């Protein structure tokens, strides 16, 4: 009973935080221009800070491996955030919203389907809570939501692949898959540093890195499909 109440409370906090982030995103995208660039730069700095804080907690691991990881992951963060800015500048607000919806649907689908169906663990050594049912369910939900909302949010001129229904479905599927891989990649980083969350800035979610993990890698892939 106590665990159930705790899970419900945590879920409510996550939902409230998610709505707050959605409204904040809408406000920034509506303001546009330098506001978007400024927010992306701020998020990049915060993620770097969280990465450094994780290292400080685990200096017992030595110097070369953790610092190399910081440099590689830091470069990955920077390139991903530049990709987000490029997508916004070249393709506009609607494509950004569409990509955010894809990742959010993927995360939500994986969370609720995984909690409901349970089953075999996906990669217990990296992320003990993730299951195959959640992984596959998230991909299906993310792909379906992305395909449906694309009809209203994306102009065919923004992506050549939009002219091919089968091809675009494969793009949605690929983006959903990479969204999961981004999540697992960040989980592996946290496992390496021996921490549960990258930070505690977002109630119910952890740090900015915990929230942005799927968005980072997805933006890199999406950059090739939109211009």
Give the pLDDT confidence score for residue 5 in this predicted structure.
Answer: 61
- What is the arithmetic mean of pLDDT over 10-27? 82
Q: Model confidence over 61-93: pLDDT tens digits?
A: 566 666 777 788 888 889 999 999 998 988 888
Higher pLDDT, 205 or 30: 30
Please tell me which residue, 213 or 7, carries the higher pLDDT value: 213
- Given pLDDT bands bounded at 50, 70 and 90, which one contains residue 164? confident
19 pLDDT tier (thresholds 50, 70, 90) = confident
**Residue 97 confidence (pLDDT):** 92
Task: Report pLDDT for 159.
Answer: 59
The per-residue pLDDT for 184 is 92
With a cut of 60, say whether residue 1 has pLDDT above it. no
Average pLDDT, the chain: 85
Averaged pLDDT, 18-40 = 89
Identify the pLDDT of residue 60.
55
Res. 102: pLDDT tops 80? yes
Q: What is the mean pLDDT of residues 1-10?
A: 61
Structure confidence at residue 138 as a pLDDT band (50, 70, 90):
very high
- Domains in the chain: boundaries: 2-225
Confidence band of 38 (pLDDT split at 50, 70, 90)? very high
3-state SS track over the chain: CHHHHHHHHHHHHHHHHHHHHHHHHHHHHHHCCHHHHHHHHHHHHHHHHHHHHHHHHCHHHCCHHHHHHHHHHHHHHHHHHHHHHHHHHHHCHHHHHHHHHHHHHHHHHHHHHHHHHCCCEEECCCEEEEEHHHHHHHHHHHHHHHHHHHHHHCCHHHCHHHHCHHHHHHHHHHHHHHHHHHHHHHHHHHHHHCCCCCCCCECCCECHHHHHHHHHHHHHHHHHHCC
Q: Give pLDDT tens digits for 165-220.
A: 888 899 899 999 999 999 998 888 888 888 888 888 888 778 899 989 899 999 99
Residue of 200 and 3 predicted with greater confidence? 200
């Amino acid at each position: 009973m106590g665990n159930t109440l705790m899970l419900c409370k945590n879920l409510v906090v996550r939902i409230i935080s998610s709505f707050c982030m959605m409204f904040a995103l809408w406000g920034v995208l509506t303001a546009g221009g330098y506001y978007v660039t400024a927010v992306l730069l701020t998020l990049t700095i915060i993620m770097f800070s969280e990465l450094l804080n994780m290292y400080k907690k685990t200096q017992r691991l030595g110097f070369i491996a953790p610092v190399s990881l910081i440099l590689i992951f830091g470069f990955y963060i920077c390139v991903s955030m530049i990709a987000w800015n490029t997508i916004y500048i070249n393709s506009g607000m609607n494509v950004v919203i569409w990509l955010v919806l894809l990742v959010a649907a993927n995360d939500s689908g994986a969370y609720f389907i995984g909690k409901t169906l349970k089953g075999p663990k996906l990669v217990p050594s990296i992320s003990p809570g993730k299951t195959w049912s959640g992984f596959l369910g998230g991909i299906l939900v993310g792909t379906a939501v992305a395909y449906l909302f694309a009809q209203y949010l994306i102009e065919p001129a923004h992506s050549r692949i939009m002219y091919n229904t089968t091809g675009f479905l494969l793009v949605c599927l690929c983006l959903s898959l990479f969204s999961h891989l981004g999540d697992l990649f960040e989980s592996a980083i946290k496992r390496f540093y021996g921490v549960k969350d990258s930070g505690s800035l977002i109630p119910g979610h952890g740090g900015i890195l915990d929230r942005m993990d799927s968005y980072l890698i997805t933006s890199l892939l999406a950059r090739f499909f939109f211009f």
